[in-house]
Structure 1
Amino acid sequence: MDFSALALSPPLLQVLAELKFQTVTPIQAQSIPVLLQGRDLVGQAKTGSGKTAAFALPLLQKIQLSHRRLQALVLCPTRELCAQVAGEIRRLGRRLPGLQVLVLAGGQPVRPQIEALERGAHLAVGTPGRVLDLLQREVLDTRHLSTVVLDEADRMLDMGFREDMERILGATPKTRQTVLFSATFPDSIEAMSRAFQKEPTRVTVESADAAPDIQQLAYPCAPEEKTALLLRLLRHYQPTSAIVFCNLKATVVDVTRALNEAGVSADGLQGDLEQFERDRVMAKFRNHSTRVLVATDVAGRGIDVEALDAVFNFDLPSQPEPYVHRIGRTGRAGRQGLALSLVTPKDDRKVEEIEHATKSRLEHASVESLPPADAAGTESLGSAWETLCISAGRKDKMRPGDILGALTGEAGGLKATDIGKIEIQDRLSYVAVARSVARVALQSLSQGRIKGRRHHIERVR
């Protein structure tokens, strides 16, 4: 089915054509007509299935731009996922004049979010904790909400947000449309649906089967050999961008330290990091200044990085569902993915359960085929890029072209090929520059001006 077959407005169809979105994914084909009719829905689909557009397009279709008041609320488990979902909604809604989309998430000062709500917005994407906080402060007006979406509802329940979610839903109009997306469908989701939805349509897109374009390899090892084996795998496969999943925060810290000491460009993402530091870690990973991200499942939730070469399971998860989520981050957009698992003798039962749930075999690979643990080669796992942080962002009217112009114009004098990804956040911007010119780029931006103004520039370590 093409998007043109759906009852979407001309501005939305125009954007979809510009973005070269042509063929509707299964979750979109089944969900969008139901949501456009205003009916409640429970959608079961994995990450990467196109579910964000499945609920975002109907939301945007129904927004009344002339009324700058909150008409739709999307709840997500993490700030990273909030930012990702809000970015996708802004992208799909870019032909809707005056559309205001807010992110209401923890880890950031609450005052700017309160001020933005007072100025008025059409749609908000938030974490349960911050949204509830804003409700209790009586600054979040839910009276005009027509739709509430719970995105990755199973993960929010796993993270202990059940009570927050119930209190938020209880503070919204009874007439609202309630949309619930979940990768799995445990009893807790069934109970929430019964309590807060009205005769919902159930849409299921098979998510248990691992994508056929992901090569899944299991490397046997003893527990004490894991770190050395991980280094050998990184040297052998040479991923430009990879995530290493661990089960414990302490393991993330230890593995990140070991990789850095071995010369690998690696950063850790775990729950003890301040939000500001998490943002910096993710900016560096997205622009390839960091090649390897080490993360727990909770900290890694919502990470969506284009062209991820490989996923490593340093620890196998205790349940098959997180395994499917993890490996689903590689092998997108028609590229073959690679999922490598370090398997100890105690993991045999986990492997059986994963193979049963995914209906696919983990191919057992030989450690002997890898370079020895003490072989040279980690130098090539450094990054050719560095990241600079600029003290201005979207709310300061900063655009990627402004930064590119400052670096490649007369004052900067750099070649366009020396500039990598530019990411604009609310109050900060990040730009990747070739390591060979990082010092020159830092100096030229610090001493020069962007859009006629001086800004604080720093290297992100």
Structure 2
Amino acid sequence: MENITKWRPKHKYRKLTDQEKSKKRDKYGIIAVGNSIPSIISSFRSMRLPKAFRKALKSEKIKKPLPLQRQGIPIALLGRDALIISISREGKTLIFCLPLIIASIQEQLRLPFSENEGPLGLIIVPSRELANQIFTFLKDFLHNLKGYPKISICLCVGGISMQDQLETLQKGVHIVISTPGRLSDLLNKNKINLKLLRILVLDEADRLLDLGFDEEVRTVLSHTSFNMQIILSSSTLPKRMQEFASNFMKSPVYISSSRSEIKKLQITHICEIVTNEGKLLKLLESLMKTEPPILVFCENKTENDSLQEFLSQRKIECASLHGGKMQNLRSKAINDFNKGYIKVLIATDMAAKGLSFEKVKHVINFDLPKDIDAYMQRVCRGSKKVHVTSFITYKNDKRFLKDLAEFVEEIGGEMPEFIQEIRGEVESKCEFCSIRGHKKFSCSLLQMEMLKSELPLQR
């Protein structure tokens, strides 16, 4: 595959043996699977990023790469197909944005884009909120990047005027960030041409598949050339994802981490045993325990709206966030919450996935999530020092509570005694291989299954 960025690591990294590379990965808790995997590089300067790029990163308060970025950025800059298994706070957005920016600059210097040309890079995400978050990051980074030609980016999502998006596309665009629905509309109306596409990113790819966007993604691929870099990011690795990688990606590298970033979080876990009838009263009590902003998670849209009505009647400034809301209301809820106009945001897992609220110091699980992966995603929505309050009823699955206890123990926290007692009642079972005694995040069979071949596993 052609390396569109023309980047290559310094000689001292290229000459490292596989054993030396593995030791560096072990140091940072990185797992990498694939052929000819480049070395971890521990600084942006050592990655040979120009000074202007490093200054732009500092403007975004990014001074040094996170562990996953130290492996992921070299892989992405080399033009390799990659599948990034990542929870929040591990910096996956920068991993796929850097090659998009560098490739766009090089192409613009070589032959400037004219009308109706592009995009060179396409990022597909499952929600408008996540699309806007990535668009904002790219816009701010490019604004701070001095001394390079202007790079055009376009946000293509539903809920806002398509005409404005069409005008941007008609001027020529380097990078498009889009949701599947709006992208399908543009393709069906021949308003976007993907023949020049060289880098395709599917962010939150597991959720794209969960929401049934398989066909939309395949339609996009049918409009592109074969010689294209594909980068997938996902918080989980279902078999459908592995099949997709096997069918559409060329010698991909799979990378993941051993939760090095989540272990740095200072989490206080509070578990309250409640009845269904007593949850609302307990919610009011919990909201009084910390300063706002506070993020509340519930199971579905109906309960989400009911909680908003309940809190609003009690003069608590709040908003709800779920997929059934109009886009303008969802955007307003996020904006008002980030600016402090409202104190409480009530969200479903689907609506909040991929979003970050760094000022939040209290996360309340009004309903427990379906599994420990979803719990981790919720925890990572807030600040690095966060209280997590979970309401537990007698209907909750003991196996999940046991997983929760094991997770908290793994990252160095404490759990209430009654949950610790549950651990002895339920035997561990891996959700992937069904073998008892370990969980899927430590399953060696899962790591090997990622390859679907006999490539060596590198750590």
What TM-score, normalized to structure 2? 0.75
Q: Which amino acid aligns with 1:341?
A: S
Matched residue type, 2:366: F
> What is the distance in 2 between the residues matched to 1:17 and 1:295?
31
Answering whether residue 392 of structure 2 is matched by residue 343 of structure 1, we say yes
- Deviation of 1:327 after TM superposition, in Å, equals 0.9
2:214 to 162, 186, 191: 162
Q: What per-residue deviation string (whole Å, max 9, x for no partner) do you get for residues 72-98 of structure 1? A: 000111011001011111222222432
Question: Do structure 1's residue 77 and structure 2's residue 113 form an aligned pair?
Answer: no
What SS class does the counterpart of residue 163 from structure 2 fall into? helix
Aligned CA distance change for structure 1 residues 204 and 310 (closer, same or farther; 3 Å): same
Alignment match of 1:34 (pick from 59, 71, 75): 75
* Letter matched to residue 71 of structure 2: Q
Partner of 2:102, secondary structure, is helix
One-letter code aligned to 2:76? L
Aligned twin of 2:137: 88
- Compare 129-138 and 224-233 and name the one that shifted more: 129-138
Asked if residue 217 in structure 1 is aligned to residue 270 in structure 2, the reply is yes
Task: Determine the C-alpha separation between the residues in 2 that align with 1:365 and 1:19.
Answer: 42
CA distance in 1, matches of 2:135, 2:199: 15
Moved more, 321-330 or 346-355: 346-355
Residue 173 (str. 1) matches residue 199 (str. 2): no
Relative contact order higher in (CA < 8 Å, ≥ 6 apart): 2
Pairing of 1:10-49 with structure 2 (within 5 A): 10-49=51-90
Q: What secondary structure does 1:93 align onto?
A: helix
What count of residue pairs does the alignment treat as equivalent?
A: 362
Determine the C-alpha separation between the residues in 2 that align with 1:195 and 1:355.
38
User: 1:401 is matched with which residue?
Assistant: none
Aligned with 2:303 (options 215, 233, 251): 251
Tell whether 2:196 aligns with 1:112.
Answer: no
Alignment of 1:442-461 (within 5 A): none
Shift of 1:208: 9.7
Which has the larger displacement, 298-307 or 161-170? 298-307
Amino acid at match of 1:36: L
What per-residue deviation string (whole Å, max 9, x for no partner) do you get for residues 326-382 of structure 1? 1111233xxx1111101111114231233345646663399xxxxxxxxxxxxxxxx
Aligned equivalents of 2:261 and 2:176: distance in 1? 33
Q: In structure 2, how many angstroms separate the alpha carbons of the residues matched to 1:243 and 1:357?
A: 21
**Alpha-carbon separation, structure 1, partners of 2:365 and 2:46:** 41
Cα gap change, 1:19 to 1:268, in 2 (>3 Å): closer
In structure 2, the residue matched to 1:286 is 338
Q: Distance in 1 between matches of 2:160 and 2:59?
A: 33
8 A Cα contact 1:256 1:267, kept in partner? yes
Pair 1:170–1:355, CA change in 2 (3 A): farther
Rounded Cα–Cα distance in structure 1 between residues aligned with 2:267 and 2:221: 38
1:5 pairs, out of 46, 58, 63, with 46
Q: Distance in 2 between matches of 1:213 and 1:259?
A: 28
Aligned to 1:136: 188
Partner of 2:11: none
Q: Is the 8 A contact 1:12 1:57 kept in 2?
A: no
Query: Which residue of 1 is the match for residue 289 of structure 2?
Result: 236
SS in structure 1 of the partner of residue 45 of structure 2: helix
Higher mean C-alpha displacement, 113-122 vs 210-219: 210-219
2: distance between equivalents of 1:310 and 1:50? 22
Corresponding residue SS for 1:87: helix
Which amino acid in 2 is paired with 1:186?
Answer: P
Q: Tell me the TM-score normalized by structure 1.
A: 0.75
| Alpha-carbon contact 2:204-2:354 (below 8 Å) kept | no
Contact 1:32–1:57 (8 Å) recurs in 2: yes
1:175 shift after superposition? 0.5
Cα 1:55–1:180 shift into 2, 3 Å: same
Question: Conserved in 1, the CA contact under 8 Å of 2:122 and 2:201?
Answer: yes
Q: Is the 8 A contact 1:208 1:324 kept in 2?
A: no
Measured after TM superposition, the shift of residue 20 of structure 1 is 4.3
Identity of aligned residues (%): 28
Q: In the alignment, is the contact (CA less than 8 A) between 2:358 and 2:383 conserved in 1?
A: no
Shift of 1:123: 0.3
Query: 1:40-59 deviations in whole A, cap 9, x for unaligned?
Result: 11111111211111111121
| In structure 1, C-alpha distance between the alignment counterparts of 2:182 and 2:215, rounded to whole Å | 13
Q: 1:219·1:365 contact (CA, 8 Å) conserved in 2?
A: no
Map Cα deviations across residues 266-295 of structure 1 (whole Å, 9 max, x no partner).
111122211111111111111010110011
Which residue of 1 is the match for residue 366 of structure 2? 314
2: distance between equivalents of 1:142 and 1:111?
A: 19
Q: Where does residue 272 of structure 1 map in the other structure?
A: 324
The CA deviation at 1:17 is 3.6
Match of residue 354 from structure 1: 404
